[in-house]
Chain A
């Protein structure tokens, strides 16, 4: 049945541009110290140059430790906060070039599901109104179909019709998250940023929500950016996965390949922490030393070198390039440098050393 719908959707798509979302070198700095003129002098580099793209109807997972800039990336893509640098194209339109009113009209196409289903629902509005108010505002459906439409959306998200008049506080966490999903879905979006949508829920509910998202994706040909720190969830739902560390994308690949053979030492360390449901399995964990460095004062060279198990000398001085090391596989690590590049890197390292020596004199 859903296959039919998918086919219908695909056939109805006249201009099937592949990439729904293209992010180019996106940066988002938060000022933490201001001079007397109110200008930032010191910044937290929450997102420090991230580039990726998502194909229509696919899900990209974005993983990383807490505080590595996943959520900031998600919110900046939707222009819920201003960027510092870079470009975000949604269906080929730069979202930051839009005026406020244009942006408001564009909003229904790009939606977000928040991490916390408790604080993201207005406590004084009944559920029907929460889901429906933007529908009415944007005129998604004609007025006479409005009620039925809300009912259908709610049913599609696993909510009952009579929930309409209830208030968010009367629902459980899972139900609330369904309300959030229904709210996002009701606007007929193409692209949804799922900002850790299941991290606040218990495991059984997580599965429900994930399955719901997947079925909806199949049904409506949705595109997701699925932000999570839970690798097994990401593995389950994503087509491609990006790994972030300290504001940078360190690795990007198709989910299967990435999980089969992680390239970047950080990814390796991260994946080695996935528990395996087999008591006899001896986990070969790579233990990362220390904690994530402050994004306000990131280490020189490769940002990961302070904790990397395969750290080389050049890693301390030269920032590795984020590039396609194998077909379809992107990685930022000196381990995968070509000889040519290594030469260049060595040169740069020498220069940096010299500069350092001079500075210390």
Chain B
């Protein structure tokens, strides 16, 4: 074998050392020219690029802001903040009652609705006329009388009737059964004596009509040897003495129902089942008290029943005491209202007043003392003509959850508050300032919340940090994913060429054809339908974005490798007998790297934009996970954008800065990687 070069050269070196000890100094020796390593060179070029340095500084800030700062920030991304607020709350409503309510005598039936509806209007008209009484005629022809007792109590009477006669008309009497030889009478129809024999003989004689007592009965054959019997009254059928033609004319003038006067007496006409009955109004029957008074029990827990109320009203009208359920009460008039005392007790048991005071919720559980105080104040107001008045009162307090607070003895915690009464067209509203515990939504920037809170009462600054985490994470994962996929696919296509290249490039074409937005929108809807957890959703979003994005990288890598593969240095690499693997990784990949880094860095910005867009459209990362996109989305309406600039401006700035910074760094890297760049 030949001698190795190495040995030959070594010998020569030795010989040279012997001959010349002097060291030569050449112009570009390392002692004169500082030689930087390739990494140092790239770094040096990078840091001399001002924009790139600015970009890196922004990015470092963003990373610290998103990944480290939240550790030291006291609030979490989904922490909801509350606030105490003094807000004016409607406590109660007071109103002078002018609706009349009926309290019935024991055992009395309620009146017909047509009467009930007319009660208040009738009383109003009585008051207007200055009369003492009035009448109401029901749709059925019954006459009711109302009499005044005092300003607020009226008595309702029903009329007593004495039947005078009935007039004409055909009605079914009953069914005659030929087998039993008896009439089965209809309800409400009184038996007519001797009718059965008459009908039996009429059927024998095959007659269809019989007359008995001035009434004509017609017989109609039915099924199963049964006969329907109809009665037809003829003319005026008086129960007593006849009253003559003038009376009969008045009856027919009145029609089927109503009342008329004749000969100093009142008569009422009623029609029931084709039979018109004329009755004389003989007297009146007490039914109920009508009143505008409202009953307030002194003790809130006492429920006053109708029996008590009727008895109380009765006592007021008759000026006596009363007893209900074995307990006796007395009534006395104080100022404008009546107060009921239990016998032997000095404290009021209940009070009657035309001024009704109810809670704003409609419940009648305000304490009587407050009601009385309110009445007092309202009287003063009415007297002085003022529209508002104020007084202090102890009000039960509510806690954070809107429930009443109790002290250790189980008593309600009360605090003195100022109650305001406002008169508004005769209805009085009681308002009070109360401490309310609220979710602190859309709080303006303050010491506690540097950029305020959002619509859910979460700290915007904390969400900006956590949102940055998600945005940066998505960007990096997606870009790394698509770069790996793209480099592998593009590398294979470019290096091996032929049908492999063709196949992969057609795949790339297909991926280019896929409209990514519709797919992402459909996916978002699908995830919504599947009710996916926010973090799973995030992971899937990253995978899908990565898979949709690799085609561009693959194309770039393939193009780069195709051109590099034809370069002479690749032939040289083959000529010096390098393995395929080494040829790819030390000759091809480093030459693709710069472009790859530049596109990847620029793509990072793009992915952040895409992610924000998707989140903004509600298709990406979901609430309560914060991302910059969802944060802007939460104030996306025109009004909200105007009102809550302190939310979307900082977030928008963050997005903008990050994307710009990524682009700066990408450009800086491209310039730094290019060894021919002189700058």
Residues of A that sit less than 8 Å from B by CB: 1, 5, 8-9, 12-14, 78, 80, 103-108, 111-112, 114, 116, 119-126, 129, 133-134, 137-138, 140-141, 145, 149, 152-153, 155-156, 160-162, 165-167, 169, 180, 183-188, 190, 219-221
* Complex: A124 Cα to B571 Cα, angstroms: 16
* Complex: A108 Cα to B577 Cα, angstroms: 7
- Contact of A188 with B9 in the complex, beta carbons under 8 Å: no
- Contact of B6 with A149 in the complex, beta carbons under 8 Å: yes
- Contact of B567 with A119 in the complex, beta carbons under 8 Å: yes
Question: A residues within 8 A CB of B679?
Answer: none
- Interface-facing stretch out of B343-351, B485-493, B583-591, B638-646: B583-591
B147-184, CB under 8 A of A: which get 1 and which 0?
00000000000000000000000000000000000000
* Complex: A21 Cα to B576 Cα, angstroms: 18
Name 7 A/B residue pairs within 8 A (Cβ), A-sorted.
A119-B568, A122-B573, A124-B593, A137-B577, A140-B4, A141-B4, A188-B4
B563-577, CB under 8 A of A: which get 1 and which 0?
000011101111111
Other-chain contact of A138, B37, B568, B577, B587 (Cβ < 8 Å)? B577
Residues of B that sit less than 8 Å from A by CB: 1-6, 8-10, 12-13, 15, 26, 28-30, 35, 37-38, 567-569, 571-579, 582, 586-587, 590-591, 593, 675-676
Other-chain contact of A104, B5, B38, B577, B591 (Cβ < 8 Å)? B577
7 nearest A-B pairs in the assembled complex, by CB-CB distance:
A107-B577, A162-B30, A134-B576, A152-B9, A124-B590, A120-B568, A119-B568
- Contact of B568 with A12 in the complex, beta carbons under 8 Å: no
Other-chain contact of B3, A12, A122, A162 (Cβ < 8 Å)? A12
Other-chain contact of B29, A112, A133, A162, A220 (Cβ < 8 Å)? A162
Question: A residues within 8 A CB of B577?
Answer: 103-108, 134, 137-138, 187
Known: A12-B2, A107-B577, A122-B569. A169 touches B582 (CB 8 A): no
Known: A111-B576, A138-B577. A123 touches B675 (CB 8 A): yes
* Complex: A156 Cα to B13 Cα, angstroms: 10
* Complex: A55 Cα to B579 Cα, angstroms: 31
- Contact of B675 with A78 in the complex, beta carbons under 8 Å: no
- Contact of A153 with B9 in the complex, beta carbons under 8 Å: yes
- Contact of A153 with B5 in the complex, beta carbons under 8 Å: yes
Question: A residues within 8 A CB of B579?
Answer: 104, 137
Question: A residues within 8 A CB of B586?
Answer: 122, 125, 129, 133
Question: A residues within 8 A CB of B6?
Answer: 140-141, 145, 149, 152, 188
Besides A12-B3, A111-B576, A188-B5, 15 new A-B residue pairs in contact (Cβ under 8 A), listed by A number? A80-B575, A105-B577, A107-B577, A119-B567, A119-B569, A124-B591, A126-B38, A133-B582, A133-B586, A140-B6, A141-B4, A145-B6, A188-B6, A220-B8, A221-B2
Question: A residues within 8 A CB of B567?
Answer: 119
Question: A residues within 8 A CB of B9?
Answer: 149, 152-153, 155-156
- Write the nearest CB–CB distance from B282 to chain A, whole angstroms: 124
Other-chain contact of A166, B35, B568, B569, B587 (Cβ < 8 Å)? B35
- Contact of B1 with A123 in the complex, beta carbons under 8 Å: no
Q: Which residue of B lies closest to A141 (CB)?
A: B6
Q: Which residue of A lies closest to B571 (CB)?
A: A80
* Complex: A221 Cα to B5 Cα, angstroms: 11
* Complex: A63 Cα to B568 Cα, angstroms: 22
* Complex: A126 Cα to B1 Cα, angstroms: 32
- Contact of B578 with A190 in the complex, beta carbons under 8 Å: no
In the complex, how many residue pairs between chain A and chain B have their CB atoms under 8 Å apart?
Answer: 127
Question: A residues within 8 A CB of B3?
Answer: 8-9, 12
- Write the nearest CB–CB distance from A162 to chain B, whole angstroms: 4
Known: A116-B568, A120-B568. A160 touches B578 (CB 8 A): no
- Contact of A134 with B591 in the complex, beta carbons under 8 Å: no
* Complex: A78 Cα to B573 Cα, angstroms: 13
Known: A120-B569, A220-B5. A165 touches B37 (CB 8 A): yes
* Complex: A104 Cα to B574 Cα, angstroms: 8
- Contact of B568 with A114 in the complex, beta carbons under 8 Å: yes
Q: Which residue of B lies closest to A134 (CB)?
A: B576
- Contact of A123 with B572 in the complex, beta carbons under 8 Å: no
- Contact of B569 with A121 in the complex, beta carbons under 8 Å: yes
- Write the nearest CB–CB distance from B669 to chain A, whole angstroms: 15
- Contact of B8 with A219 in the complex, beta carbons under 8 Å: yes
- Write the nearest CB–CB distance from B575 to chain A, whole angstroms: 5
Question: B residues within 8 A CB of A121?
Answer: 569, 572
- Contact of A183 with B576 in the complex, beta carbons under 8 Å: yes
- Contact of A12 with B573 in the complex, beta carbons under 8 Å: no
- Write the nearest CB–CB distance from A165 to chain B, whole angstroms: 5
Other-chain contact of A12, B1, B38, B574 (Cβ < 8 Å)? B1
* Complex: A187 Cα to B568 Cα, angstroms: 19
Question: A residues within 8 A CB of B15?
Answer: 1
- Write the nearest CB–CB distance from A289 to chain B, whole angstroms: 35
- Write the nearest CB–CB distance from B566 to chain A, whole angstroms: 10
- Write the nearest CB–CB distance from B569 to chain A, whole angstroms: 4
- Write the nearest CB–CB distance from B587 to chain A, whole angstroms: 5
Known: A111-B575, A122-B587, A125-B586. A5 touches B8 (CB 8 A): yes
- Write the nearest CB–CB distance from B477 to chain A, whole angstroms: 28
- Contact of A152 with B13 in the complex, beta carbons under 8 Å: yes
Other-chain contact of A122, B10, B37, B575, B591 (Cβ < 8 Å)? B591
* Complex: A16 Cα to B645 Cα, angstroms: 90
* Complex: A160 Cα to B28 Cα, angstroms: 9
* Complex: A260 Cα to B283 Cα, angstroms: 167
Other-chain contact of A108, B26, B572, B576 (Cβ < 8 Å)? B576
Q: Which residue of A lies closest to B24 (CB)?
A: A160
- Contact of A169 with B676 in the complex, beta carbons under 8 Å: yes
Known: A120-B569, A152-B10, A160-B29. A9 touches B576 (CB 8 A): no
Question: A residues within 8 A CB of B28?
Answer: 160, 162
Question: A residues within 8 A CB of B572?
Answer: 112, 114, 120-122, 180, 183
Q: Which residue of B lies closest to A146 (CB)?
A: B6
* Complex: A156 Cα to B16 Cα, angstroms: 12
- Contact of A162 with B35 in the complex, beta carbons under 8 Å: yes
- Write the nearest CB–CB distance from A43 to chain B, whole angstroms: 20
- Contact of A14 with B1 in the complex, beta carbons under 8 Å: yes
Question: B residues within 8 A CB of A156?
Answer: 9, 12
- Write the nearest CB–CB distance from A254 to chain B, whole angstroms: 25
- Write the nearest CB–CB distance from B530 to chain A, whole angstroms: 47
Other-chain contact of B576, A105, A107, A116, A149 (Cβ < 8 Å)? A107
* Complex: A77 Cα to B587 Cα, angstroms: 24
* Complex: A220 Cα to B2 Cα, angstroms: 9
* Complex: A119 Cα to B569 Cα, angstroms: 6
Q: Which residue of B lies closest to A112 (CB)?
A: B575
- Write the nearest CB–CB distance from A252 to chain B, whole angstroms: 26
Question: B residues within 8 A CB of A123?
Answer: 569, 591, 675
Question: A residues within 8 A CB of B8?
Answer: 5, 8-9, 219-220
Question: B residues within 8 A CB of A125?
Answer: 586-587, 590
* Complex: A125 Cα to B590 Cα, angstroms: 9
* Complex: A137 Cα to B8 Cα, angstroms: 21
- Write the nearest CB–CB distance from B572 to chain A, whole angstroms: 5
- Write the nearest CB–CB distance from A345 to chain B, whole angstroms: 42
* Complex: A111 Cα to B574 Cα, angstroms: 10
Question: B residues within 8 A CB of A122?
Answer: 569, 572-573, 586-587, 590-591
* Complex: A111 Cα to B576 Cα, angstroms: 7
Question: A residues within 8 A CB of B576?
Answer: 107-108, 111, 133-134, 137, 183-184, 187
* Complex: A108 Cα to B574 Cα, angstroms: 11
Known: A152-B13, A190-B2. A134 touches B578 (CB 8 A): yes
* Complex: A161 Cα to B568 Cα, angstroms: 25
Question: A residues within 8 A CB of B587?
Answer: 122, 124-125
- Write the nearest CB–CB distance from B441 to chain A, whole angstroms: 57
Q: Which residue of A lies closest to B574 (CB)?
A: A80
Other-chain contact of B582, A137, A184, A188 (Cβ < 8 Å)? A137
* Complex: A350 Cα to B569 Cα, angstroms: 52
* Complex: A220 Cα to B11 Cα, angstroms: 13
Question: B residues within 8 A CB of A185?
Answer: 5
* Complex: A359 Cα to B215 Cα, angstroms: 144
